[in-house]
Structure 1
Amino acid sequence: MTTSQHSAPTAGRPSSTGPRSGAASRPRSGAAAGPLAGLRAGRVLTGPTAGRANAVALMLLLLASLAQACCLIEVGRALGLLVAGAGGAGRIAVAAWGSAGPGLLLRALLAAAVSALAAGAADGVSRRSAAREEGVIRGRVLAALLRLGPLRSDSGPGGPGAVPGGPGAAATTRAGAAVGLLTDGAERVSRYRQTFLAPTAAAALAPIAVLVLAAVAVDWLSALVLAAAVVVVPWAVVQVHRRTRSSSGASRRRRAVLSARYLEVIQGLETLVLARAGDRAVAELEEAGEENRRGLMRLLAGNQLVILLTDGLASLLLVVGAAALSLVRVRSGAITAGDAIALVLVSVVLLEPLDRVGSFFYVGMSGRANERLMTGLLRRAGDGTVPGTRTAEPDGVAGADGAADVDGGIAPTAGSPGARVRLSAVTARWPEAPVLTARHPGGHPGGRPAGYGGPAGQGAPTAPAHGRPAVPAAGSGAGSGAGTGTGTGRPAAHGRPDGRPSGRDVLTGVDLDIEPGEHVAVVGPSGAGKSTLLALLDGELLPTVGTVAVDGVTAARGDEAARDALRARSAVVTQSTWLFTGTVADNLRLARPDATDDELWAALAAAGLDDEVRATPDGLATAVGERGTALSGGQAQRVALARAFLADRPLLLLDEPTSQVDLASEAVIVEALGRLGEGRTVVTVTHRRAAADDADRVLTVEGGRLR
């Protein structure tokens, strides 16, 4: 049994969220700046220092290129003096070298030193910035995932689930896609933005600066002719990028699918062993891995061929052209032999854009692809980091004028217990794309909406580092319960809580009024729509027709901002438990980070678990183990109940809360649920009529209708 208590306080009730964590705060990004579109795109993902680091690296790299060009010009002129001496100029050449040669060499050495120092400093700035921004990117994407919940985080273009199959793909999306986006994806984007964009911009601008220098210091006409050739090089690079984009994207999708399958096998390891299916799973992974390897080798072979042709031919043509131009100018008497050699040497600097082609295949394309997914995710999260989005205020649904939207709904009931609930002509269906789901070997897909817990290995979130639970973002929908993406054993065929295929109405024309403090039980067969009803009340699913009103907040189709306000008013207790690696206190404080030890003990007492925790040597510091494995099933469920007590929401939603426990544990949990329901509106869904004996009303869901 898992609880999910959402993070914003309910009007008239004390706040249970505490201060927002840094990772959960809304990051703001200033207006994009810079001449290159690549430096503007995706700035919503990085912190305020990322742009400054890129600007510093860009300036340093331009300085390095100019210093390198100065060095080459001085070296060319020095070589010209030596050539003149070897050609029989005699005493005149020796005298010229004696007066100018040492100065030329000294200036060349100084320019080379400046170039090396500037390039090294730029590399250091970029690498440090990439390491820093990787954490920033990961935090912002995680905050967006928590804010969306699994129902929306993976549906449509821009979600992690788009990685395996692309936008609109029919393939089942995976929890592994989100994990990959947070780990490997964050690293690739940080490397792309902080170690690739600035050097690429410098490579594009350096030839212009070098040609200006050559025009002033050597020969303006030669520089003008070389400028025409330089324009062709970026055009060739762009054409290469366009022709290789699709093949690189296909390779990336294959790798994402393989990563997701590995994650599934690890999560379902126990089931595979018990079912004696381990060898078969290993064989399937080996086959998929070999297919991925062959595809990657084909991609690399093609890329290397393109790089060889582009780099080799363009380099040869540019250098040979510079040499031919220099000879023509020398014969005409316009420049000296030293200037001619300098022009040939400087032409090497003009090849900088070609050096970026190879990097683009390994850093640029993968970084851009992951960046598009992440920015799409933040855009749908509406967390204020992407222009054109909005964020609901935690205490209501903010409209254009900032006022809470209660029009057409019902006002909060001041001073009365629980929340008032009204469903008006509601029709609901699940979206086309399953979200963060994974068909596990045991047949229990993950991906219940945020706050619907699931047993281990069902698309559950990865345990955070250092053995501490990751505190979800305020308003994320996982404020004190399980993290997003946990499962509850939906039918494997469709990945829906009701077992119906996507795109079909699950509930039709439902009208329901619940008074504050009333306990309503909803019964019906599997797939009838009971869990869909809870998802509507919890804000994880918006109606396609009609409105859902809870304690003064009204949600209708497309009203994404209403989700947070609905979440803020409900606690969900389901049949399966998710506990994070850490201690009992850590897991309880997911509901209220600022809760005192006395408040934690009071919550444990209300859940009937305080005596058992006091009997342990460490008390509140008792480790619960990975996924709560150090506790019994009944104890883990009562920890989840204690979180619900701490969260103190006016609407309590119960989904088969005792279906997976023994009789002794059931009695204790039922007693605790009775205490939890005092002063709250309670909606219980169950298969069993006996579980609804304490309800004030019993309703039946059948054929998508409520009777």
Structure 2
Amino acid sequence: MMVHRRLLTLAGDIRFPLALNIVLGLAVAAAYITQGLLVAQILARLLDGRGLESTTWLLVWLAVVVAARLVLLVLAEVAAQRTAHAVKERVRGRLYDKLLHLGPGYLTLKRSGDVRTVLVDGVEALEAYYSRYLPTVALCLLGPSGILIYLATRDPISAAIIAVCIVLILVGPRLLDRMLAQKGAENWEAYGRLSSDYLDVMQGMTTLKAFNATARERLTLSRRAEELREATMRQLGVSLVDSAVTTFGLLAGPALAVGVAAMRLASGSVDTLTLLLVLVLARECFRPLGDLSKYWHAGYIGISSSKQIHDLLREKPLVEEPARPRPLGAARVTFDNVTFRYPGRERPAVRGFTLDIEPGETVAVVGPSGAGKSTLVALLLRYFDVTEGGVRIGGVNVREAALTDLRAMVAVVAQDTYLFTGTVADNIRLGRRDAGDEEVVEAAKAANIHDFVAGLPDGYATAVSERGLTLSGGQRQRVAIARALLADAPILVLDEATSSVDAAGEALIQDALSRVTAGRTTLVVAHRLSTVRAADRIVLMRDGEIREIGDHHELMGRDGDYARLVAAQEVTA
């Protein structure tokens, strides 16, 4: 029987719902047993020639027991469903809390499809284990024991035969558990790969169509599906042997016990009532074992999925909350000789980076792709901890500040703005949940998005589709700017905020950004150099290092890398 300590602790304290399931299951089993005893008594009286009138009250009690059993079955099903929902709610809550603790840095290193498989399919796979399999295991241990004790008082030989068959059913298939665990893990991993690839294809369907690459991805999905089929068949090959042994025992056990009892009846060793009791009670002994076999496969899927859930819950966060958080000071940002390597990479993304940004100053960081610009934003927000050096705000190392305090100090307008399913107002209010309608409108006006939103069918109550794909890139960016204005954080980060919009959209965004940056310490990460000319200072990065620093006119006068980048962009514009 597959009772794993890891699974018992995974859902927290579920003793009460599990105990309720077991008690109701025992009540149902007692109803079946009582029904069997009454049927045996009725048949014995009829076979003895006493007449139907001698069974009247027995028939009445039989009807009462059948009705009670139906009620108990309904209650047991309701309890099982409640247990399943409680388990899934608790496990998902633990997983979501863990992901929040792990932070954005963890998710950037993982495939979203793998995480989704654990959160959704992995948790769903636990349902049958907790609501069906575990209660049935308890019934298999308790129910048959009571019946065998009673049968032993009537016919010890029949009780012994049934007991031996039960032991063989429970112990025999367990010899295959190790092999089945291996095949189950392979099957779940194959399912996870297919699920992840399928999610990638669904999210990137527009790109695949644009590049006429659907045929190639179809082959990839076909290969993953074939891998899953083969893994499933290997697992079934083992589980069918288990099921065959169990099914044989379930059929042979009652038949053997009844056959031996019938022969002993013929020899006069037992009476008719004892034979009938063996006939009906043997079936009830093996009934929970049949249920256990029925839920066994679903339970094993839960065991296979629990490994990935357990692994995620044991992941160590890339950044830890300080034991004694320090309050952050003024909005002065300092990168002090910062070096950072992404996990699993030897080459630093940022190397020996030193920069002071004074309160209210706007500093732009530019350079080619892969220079390390966006990595600075991740380090400032402490998605990762620096490998060497330090990042400070107001003289306080960000490692010493509470993560909520740190991220409340910084508002971000990113290149790829994510809009959640909900209304336009909901997405703007993400900057500050308690903001009133008037504040939302004012932020939208300052971000140059109000006229567009007001023209929508339901205005600010208009529903936004998944990821905001019904809005243009510029419109999504202006919603993000409205969020930043509503957050009113003293530090603003603009990470490629205008890189994916056209000239008209860029003009509207730049006009809005001129208002949002006023009076704030601003770090601008940009690839399009025309957007950073008004910055107080411009930092040119290459290969993770600072190569040039100064304002636009200074850098143009040096005729260095910055001047060449500007010239190259003007030629291609």
| TM-score relative to the length of structure 1 | 0.67
TM superposition shift of 1:644: 0.9
Query: 2:73 corresponds to which letter in structure 1?
Result: A
Structure-1 separation of matches of 2:148 and 2:108: 49
Is residue 2:33 matched to residue 1:66? Answer: no
**1:665 to 1:51, Cα distance in 2 relative to 1, 3 A:** same
| Distance of 1:552 and 1:193 partners within structure 2 | 52
Q: Secondary structure at the match of 1:521?
A: strand
Higher relative contact order (CA 8 A, sep 6+): 1
Shift of 1:534: 1.2
What residue in structure 2 maps to residue 43 of structure 1?
A: 11
CA contact (8 A) 2:379 2:386 kept: yes
C-alpha change, 1:371 and 1:592, in structure 2 (3 Å) is farther
Identify which of 442, 448, 454 aligns with 1:602.
442
Rounded Cα–Cα distance in structure 2 between residues aligned with 1:225 and 1:616: 77
User: Contact 1:421–1:513 at 8 Å: present in 2 too?
Assistant: yes
Aligned to 2:328: 412
Q: Secondary structure at the match of 2:430?
A: coil
Q: Determine helix, strand or coil for the equivalent of 1:642.
A: helix
2:124 is matched with 187
User: What SS is found at the alignment partner of 2:308?
Assistant: helix
Question: Does the alignment pair 1:117 with 2:71?
Answer: yes
Name 2:563's counterpart in structure 1.
none
RMSD: 3.7
Alignment of 1:48-59 (within 5 A): 52-59=16-23
Map Cα deviations across residues 662-703 of structure 1 (whole Å, 9 max, x no partner): 233223322322322233322222345554433333334334
How far apart in 1 are the matches of 2:263 and 2:397? 80
Cα pair 2:132 2:295 within 8 Å, conserved: no
Whether 1:244 aligns to 2:84 is no
Cα pair 1:211 1:223 within 8 Å, conserved: yes
Q: Percent identity?
A: 34
Q: In structure 2, give the amino acid aligned to 1:516.
A: P
Q: Is there any run of 5+ residues in structure 2 with no aligned partner, and where? A: 548-573
User: Aligned partner of 1:543: which letter?
Assistant: V
Other structure's SS at 1:588 match: helix
C-alpha separation between the residues in 2 aligned to 1:523 and 1:586? Answer: 33
For residues 317 and 620 of structure 1, do their structure 2 counterparts lie closer, same or farther at Cα, with a shift above 3 Å needed?
Answer: closer
Instruction: Tell me the residue number matched to 1:130.
Output: 84
Q: Shift in Å at residue 59 of structure 1? A: 0.6
Whole-angstrom distance in 2 between the partners of 1:618 and 1:106:
65
Give 1:52 deviation, angstroms: 3.7
- Which of residues 207, 212, 233 in structure 2 aligns to 1:271? 207
State whether residues 197 and 221 of structure 2, in contact with CA within 8 Å, keep that contact through their aligned partners in structure 1: yes
Structure 1 equivalent of residue 137 of structure 2: 200
2:130 and 2:356 map into 1 onto residues whose CA distance is 52
Residues 39-86 of structure 1, C-alpha deviation per residue, up to 9 Å, x if partnerless?
A: 733224xxx8x654332221111111123223334434554556xx5x
Query: What SS does structure 2 have at the residue aligned with 1:412?
Result: coil
Query: 1:143/1:567 Cα in 2 relative to 1: closer, same or farther (>3 Å)?
Result: same
User: Are the counterparts in 1 of residues 363 and 524 from structure 2 also a CA contact under 8 Å?
Assistant: yes
1:364 to 299, 307, 323: 299
Provide the secondary structure at the position in 1 that maps to 2:343.
coil
Partner SS, residue 575 of structure 1: coil
Note the C-alpha offset of 1:645. 0.9
Q: Which has the higher helix share?
A: 2
Is 1:539 matched with 2:539?
no
* In 2: Cα distance, 1:541 partner to 1:529 partner: 14
Work out whether residues 656 and 684 of structure 1, in 8 Å CA contact, stay in contact via their aligned partners in 2: yes
CA distance in 2, matches of 1:36, 1:76: 39
On the 8 A contact 2:165/2:253 being kept in 1, the answer is: no
Distance 1:321 1:554 in 2: 77
Q: Which residue of the other structure, out of 502, 505, 512, is the alignment partner of 2:348?
A: 505
Shifted more, 593-602 versus 310-319: the winner is 310-319
Structure 2 residue 111 is matched with structure 1 residue 174: yes
Partner of 1:522: 365
Question: Residues 631, 325 of structure 1: CA spacing in aligned structure 2 closer, same or farther, 3 A cutoff?
Answer: same
Give 2:277's aligned residue: 342
Q: CA deviation at 1:325?
A: 7.3
Question: How far apart, in 1, do the equivalents of 2:377 and 2:295 lie?
Answer: 50
Cα distance, 1:274 vs structure 2 = 2.3
Task: Identify if the C-alpha distance between structure 1 residues 68 and 672 changes in structure 2 by more than 3 Å, giving closer, same or farther.
Answer: same
How do residues 684-703 of structure 1 correspond to structure 2 at under 5 angstroms?
Answer: 684-687=524-527, 690-703=530-543
Helix, strand or coil: the match of 2:375? helix
2: distance between equivalents of 1:62 and 1:209?
11
Cα 1:398–1:213 change in 2 (3 A) is: farther
The answer to whether the 8 Å contact 2:158/2:257 transfers is no
Instruction: Give 3-state SS (helix, strand or coil) of 1:608's partner.
Output: coil
2:194–2:224: 8 Å Cα contact kept in structure 1? yes
Please give the secondary structure, in 1, of the residue aligned with 2:117.
helix
**Distance in 1 (alpha carbons) for counterparts of 2:395 and 2:144:** 63
Question: CA 1:229 to 1:658, structure 2 compared with 1: closer, same or farther past 3 Å?
Answer: same
2:391 aligned with 1:427, yes or no? no
Query: Contact 2:158/2:260 (CA < 8 Å) preserved in 1?
Result: no
Q: For the Cα contact (< 8 Å) 1:575–1:655, is it kept in 2?
A: yes
CA contact (8 A) 2:411 2:489 kept: yes
Matched, 1:620 2:460: yes
Matching residue's letter, 2:412? V
Cα distance per residue 1:15-38 (max 9 Å; x no partner): xxxxxxxxxxxxxxxxxxxx9847
The whole-number CA distance in structure 2 between the counterparts of 1:567 and 1:330 is 85
Q: In the TM superposition, what is the alpha-carbon distance from 1:642 to its structure 2 partner? A: 0.4
For 1:672 and 1:594, locate their aligned partners in 2 and report how far apart those are by CA, in whole Å.
23
* Residue in structure 1 matching 2:413, options 573, 582, 594: 573
- 8 Å CA contact retained: 1:606, 1:672: yes
State how far apart, in whole Å, the 2-side matches of 1:303 and 1:40 are: 23
Task: Name the CA distance, whole Å, in 2 between partners of 1:366 and 1:64.
Answer: 27
Matched, 1:282 2:218: yes
Residues 229 and 74 (structure 1 numbering): CA distance in 2 closer, same or farther, change over 3 Å? Answer: same
Instruction: State the alpha-carbon separation in 2 of the partners of residues 328 and 150 from structure 1.
Output: 73
Deviation of the 1:512 alpha carbon: 4.1
- Opposite residue 130 of structure 1, the aligned amino acid is A
Contact 2:173 2:242 (C-alpha < 8 Å) held by counterparts: no
Is 671-680 or 636-645 further displaced after alignment? 671-680
Kindly provide the CA deviation profile for residues 70-107 of structure 1, in whole angstroms up to 9, marking residues without a partner as x.
3334434554556xx5xxxxxxx445x78975565555
Deviation, structure 1 residue 643: 0.6
Tell me, yes or no, if the aligned pair for 2:365 and 2:541 is still in contact at 8 Å: yes
Q: CA deviation at 1:526?
A: 2.0
Deviations 1:461-520 (A, max 9, x none): xxxxxxxxxxxxxxxxxxxxxxxxxxxxxxxxxxxxxxxxx3543223444443333333
TM score, norm. by length of structure 2 = 0.81
How many residues align? The count is 543
Tell me how far 1:639 sits from its aligned partner: 0.9
**1:211 alignment partner in structure 2:** 148
Q: Does 1:665 align with 2:505?
A: yes
Indicate whether 1:583 and 2:499 are aligned: no
Mean CA deviation greater in 60-69 or 230-239 = 230-239
Q: CA deviation at 1:307?
A: 0.4
**TM-aligned CA distance change 1:37 to 1:266, over 3 Å:** closer
Match of 1:260 among 181, 191, 196: 196
- What are the equivalent positions in structure 2 for 1:632-671 lying under 5 Å apart? 632-671=472-511
Q: Which residue in the other structure is 1:488 paired with? A: none
TM-aligned CA distance change 1:233 to 1:568, over 3 Å = farther
SS where residue 653 of structure 1 aligns? strand
1:699, 1:682 → 2: CA distance?
A: 13
* 1:565–1:593 distance in 2 versus 1, CA, 3 Å: closer
Q: Is the 8 A contact 1:237 1:354 kept in 2?
A: no
